[in-house]
Amino acid sequence: MCECSNGNKDIYLPELCTITKRRMLNGTELFMHLEKDSGEDFDYIPGQFVEASVAGIGEAPISISSSPTQKGLELVVRNVGSLTKVIHGLEVGDKLGIRGPYGSTYPLEEAKGKDLVFICGGIGLVPQRSFIRYALDHRADYGDITILIGTKCHEMRLFREEIALWEERKDMTVMETIDEGHDCWNGNVGVVTTLIPKVESHLPNSQILVCGPPIMYKFVLMALAEAEVPQENIFVNLERRMKCGVGKCGHCQMNEHYVCQDGPVFRYSDLAHVPEAI
């Protein structure tokens, strides 16, 4: 197999990985654990993404949900298009092509010794889980850990068992809310911003990590501004169409920034002059 050309690797060639575990997290979200067929382990930092592909169907950027402190790579794929529909049909033992990891990372080093507040909307929890698990595996390195999770409805809630385990821990705080109330749900009802006042005193000195659907950022960032959180302390993890992942194809561009290279994790204060960002 020719991977090289004048000593340069083909940046578009995926590496085959095997699905070692799979389960549905809800009606639309598939969780997968992958291992490289080469036997090597994955080398990445929380916040990064990979290009996942099935030859013959296509390729798409997918957030990494696992932490590099564990073995293998975990992805969560929503059944939303032609590629993801095929991925949902894959079984344990089937292959997925992976390129990457690509993009910027959460501020693992800078956040050391500081309190962390994760604000997650819907599948925004997926990439956030990478840093959450990393921080829990390096618990002594970080201050208080607070996780705010907003989900559209009870049925859509992700990682329920894992969240229950987090809730039992004495060294972190987890708050969940759902947009629409439900008979089986005794918790908070309302969008994720309704949780922000409950941790407000905590916010100004924390590192705030935000990930969710496009509409969520506007409201979360407004609430954080009201709570007088310095913009330097806020990190957003943005979604765009990162088709090539290597800063060439142009699809993920957000003004002069290529989200696949300068992002997906941005310090909010760096986006002051990037009107296409939020």
Partner 1 sequence: MSVSTVTKEQFKSFVAALVDSDQNVVGVQAKDDKFAFGELTDANALRLDYDVTILPPKKYMLPQREALMNFEVAGAAESVQPDEKMVLLGVHPYDMIAINQMDELFSQGEYDTHYMNRRNNITIIACDVVTDSKNVFAASMNSATCDTGYDILLTAIGDAYVVDAATDKGQALVDMMSGANEATDADLKKREAVHEKNIAALNKHELECKPSFLPKLLEKAYDHPVWEERARLCYSCGSCNQVCPTCYCFDVQDEVNWDLKTGTRCRAWDGCLLTNFATVAGDHNFRKKRADRFRHRLYRKGKYVPGKIDGQIACVGCGRCVTACTAKIANPVEVYNTILETTELR
Residues that bind partner 1 (CB under 8 A): 1-3, 5-6, 8-14, 16, 54-60, 78, 80-81, 84, 94-95, 97, 214, 239-241, 243-244, 246-251, 253-256, 261, 275-276
Q: Which amino acid is at 155?
A: E
Q: Shortest Cβ distance from residue 6 to partner 1 (Å)?
A: 8
Cβ proximity to partner 1, 72 vs 247, nearer residue: 247
Cβ proximity to partner 1, 195 vs 236, nearer residue: 236
Q: Which amino acid is at 197?
A: P
Distance CA 210, CA 193 (A): 11
Q: Shortest Cβ distance from residue 140 to partner 1 (Å)?
A: 36
Surface-to-core class of residue 228, CB atoms within 10 Å of its CB (0-12 exposed, 13-18 middle, 19+ buried): exposed
Cβ proximity to partner 1, 60 vs 199, nearer residue: 60
Q: Name which of 157, 117, 159 is nearest 135 in CA terms.
A: 117
What are 206's two structure tokens?
């924390």
Q: Shortest Cβ distance from residue 84 to partner 1 (Å)?
A: 7
Q: Name which of 181, 116, 128 is nearest 158 in CA terms.
A: 128
Q: CA torsion, points 81, 179, 120, 68, in degrees to nearest 10?
A: -60
Q: Shortest Cβ distance from residue 265 to partner 1 (Å)?
A: 17
Cβ proximity to partner 1, 25 vs 111, nearer residue: 25
Distance CA 205, CA 113 (A): 11
Q: Which amino acid is at 199?
A: V
Q: Shortest Cβ distance from residue 267 to partner 1 (Å)?
A: 19
Q: Name which of 245, 244, 243, 253 is nearest 275 in CA terms.
A: 253
Phi, psi of 163 (to 5 degrees): -65, -40
Cβ proximity to partner 1, 115 vs 262, nearer residue: 262
Cβ proximity to partner 1, 12 vs 21, nearer residue: 12
Cβ proximity to partner 1, 80 vs 164, nearer residue: 80
Distance CA 170, CA 182 (A): 28
Q: Shortest Cβ distance from residue 99 to partner 1 (Å)?
A: 11
